[in-house]
Structure 1
Amino acid sequence: MTDTAVLGQRAPERQREPAPPRRTGIPAGLLRTARPRQWIKNVLVVAAPAAAGELFAWHTLSRLALVFVLFTACAAAVYLVNDARDAEADRAHPVKRHRPVAAGQVPVPVAYAVGGALGVVAPVVAAWLCPPAVAALLTAYLAMQLAYCISLKHVLVVDLAVVTTGFLMRAMIGGLALGIPLSRWFLITTGFGALFMVSAKRYSEAVQMAEKAGATRALLTEYTTGYLRFVWQLAAGVAVLGYCLWAMEEGGVPHTSVLPWRQLSMVAFILAVLRYAVFADRGTAGEPEDVVLRDRALALIGVVWVAMYGLAVANW
């Protein structure tokens, strides 16, 4: 009866997404292919300026807005090229066949053309309006992600490293755009925090794969759930250690604030990692943005952490 019930739930879902309403034109299809829901990840561009306490100057905000747009354009370029390249395979997939390129809403040549244009324009604009390091990082990001689409996503461990590096690049680019030195502890915490979320997502997919055979990436069959669990647990531990060392090091300087907010923020950070680990352990840590936005407790912990760190920066 369970199988029947599940099948009974899936059929109506497919009926809610009929083909005619979704074929609203090429521009709408291109926008969907660019994955607007994924753009929230690019908010990481504010990480380095926020960590340095240099976030609220007008010059800073305008430069970060530009960097956000440029990084979003690069990410969209990768999605467009990826979907164009995988169109034939996606048509045989129960979920991916509804993507605009696979469904025929966006012709493959158009997806390639728009993706290529975005991939060229974004670094050129960055070279014109931003420090050279920004254009270099965007170019490196594009090269790495395109290599991932073509072959690296099929290589064990390397696929985890590439996706993690993509998050780390997002966190670094804000500092590079503003000439802010990047702390080694900041890089360690951000890098391993990203690896924690990426490996937790892979672990969740691997756990669910047995129930939904064929509905996830083939590479997961090469990983064991035990290995992926080891990776996310290791990454979580290193991220927490890196943050604590960073907070204690920075907090060692004299301050006039009422409380040592920077050190106290360690509590919120550790609670956030432990809360996220609950979903990882259950095998329900899918898209990081979905986990963070849908869990009220995790969102509240995040707000508390931001408040504590803001008070530390303001030296209140």
Structure 2
Amino acid sequence: MADRTALLERPHPPGPSGPSALALPLGLLKTARPRQWVKNVLVVAAPAAAGELFSRHSLIQLAVVFALFTAAASAVYLINDARDADADRAHPTKCRRPVAAGQVPVAVAYVVGGLLAVLAPVAAAALCTPLTAALLAAYVVMQLAYCVSLKHVLVVDLAVVTTGFLMRAMIGGVALGIPLSRWFLITTGFGALFMVSAKRYSEAVQMSGSSEKLGATRALLTEYTTGYLRFVWQLAAGVAVLAYCLWAMESGGTANGSLLPWRQLSMAAFVLAVLRYAVFADRGTAGEPEDVVLRDRALAVIGLVWIAMYGLAVADL
């Protein structure tokens, strides 16, 4: 009887449907940074600017491109966390990352990341165009090089992160065979540099006076001065505004009987958006661009007005 009672009381290993069965998949998903996937919405930028967004073919193709770019970006995050696992374990907050915490084995992160890094460009070649696959492969190679060494190179780190955003904005147009305006590329590139350098500036301001915290958060920040980073985001903001104005003025005036020159009027909303975002950059509170864009009501309203004006320009209304 005692043996039977002991047998009943003995803990049983969790079944395949228990928490342990979901730990690894959930850890891999968390390591893939779902919160960052919103950045990949930029793949619609070029088709939207060209008015090629609403055909069924375009929507399907852009959905495929979004999924493939998300897979490629997730591959980079997985490999990066596997490579930095030892250093992350000594960090006060990064130690909670699934790979550093042991929820995802380092070998598994490497294997899954490697598979995604290979399969994303291969799938792009099969489902999209060879140029799309080449651009996606270039993104993966560049980002892996950034994880290994380029993130430790002064100024180059800013250029690599900025180029990643520019590639996101380009790939939708490349997949649909849409010619990319030089002003579109300049505006997008310098707009991305503005946000990237403002983020670095905010991190440097928030960590000023504590070189140990600064180095632990992002080692290269100790090599930058806040004055230099301020110069970079101010320069980038100015070039982005100028390029957008030149892009908007290309059409001259109203087109095809449009009621108002919406494209030219959208310059006001664009400039206001840059000025509003610069308020947070100047305060040193632009460390998370997605939080600034989503949480500031005034910026959200300005953005909606800009989208409406540009949409009317594309539709020639």
The TM-score, its normalising length taken from structure 2, stands at 0.91
2:96 matched residue in structure 1: 98
Q: CA deviation at 1:210?
A: 2.3
Percent of aligned pairs with the same residue? 81
- Find the aligned partners of 2:174 and 2:263 in 1 and give their Cα distance: 24
Is 1:310 aligned to residue 277 of structure 2? Answer: no
Is 1:282 aligned to residue 283 of structure 2? Answer: yes
* Alignment deviations for residues 203-242 of structure 1 (CA, whole Å, 9 cap, x no partner): 0001011266425101000000000000000000000000
1:113 matched residue in structure 2: 111
2:172 to 171, 174, 182: 174
1:260 matched residue in structure 2: 261
In structure 2, relative to structure 1, the CA distance for the partners of 1:206 and 1:23 (3 Å cut) is farther
The answer to whether the 8 A contact 1:23-1:105 is kept is no
Q: CA deviation at 1:134?
A: 0.4
- Find the aligned partners of 2:151 and 2:20 in 1 and give their Cα distance: 29
- Find the aligned partners of 1:200 and 1:23 in 2 and give their Cα distance: 41
The answer to whether the 8 A contact 1:168-1:194 is kept is yes
| 1:79-94 pair list within 5 angstroms | 79-94=77-92
Paired positions, count: 296
Is 1:41 aligned to residue 46 of structure 2? Answer: no
Q: 1:255 is paired with a residue of what secondary structure?
A: coil
1:149 matched residue in structure 2: 147
In structure 2, relative to structure 1, the CA distance for the partners of 1:24 and 1:92 (3 Å cut) is farther
Q: CA deviation at 1:24?
A: 5.1
The answer to whether the 8 A contact 1:204-1:280 is kept is yes
Q: CA deviation at 1:23?
A: 9.9
The answer to whether the 8 A contact 1:251-1:262 is kept is no
The TM-score, its normalising length taken from structure 1, stands at 0.91
| 1:157-168 pair list within 5 angstroms | 157-168=155-166
Structure 2 alignment gaps of length 5 or more: 1-18
In structure 2, relative to structure 1, the CA distance for the partners of 1:23 and 1:104 (3 Å cut) is farther
How large is the RMSD of aligned CA atoms in angstroms? 1.4
Q: CA deviation at 1:254?
A: 3.5
Give the number of the structure whose alpha-carbon radius of gyration is greater. Answer: 2
Q: CA deviation at 1:290?
A: 1.2
Query: Which contiguous aligned blocks of 4+ residues in structure 1 show a shift greater than 6 angstroms?
Result: none
2:8 matched residue in structure 1: none
- Find the aligned partners of 2:129 and 2:116 in 1 and give their Cα distance: 19
Q: CA deviation at 1:289?
A: 1.0
- Find the aligned partners of 2:22 and 2:64 in 1 and give their Cα distance: 29
- Find the aligned partners of 2:175 and 2:254 in 1 and give their Cα distance: 27
Structure 1 alignment gaps of length 5 or more: 1-20
Q: 2:217 is paired with a residue of what secondary structure?
A: coil
* Alignment deviations for residues 130-174 of structure 1 (CA, whole Å, 9 cap, x no partner): 111100001000000000000000000000000000000000000
In structure 2, relative to structure 1, the CA distance for the partners of 1:211 and 1:104 (3 Å cut) is farther
The answer to whether the 8 A contact 1:23-1:29 is kept is no
Q: CA deviation at 1:129?
A: 1.1
Q: 2:178 is paired with a residue of what secondary structure?
A: coil
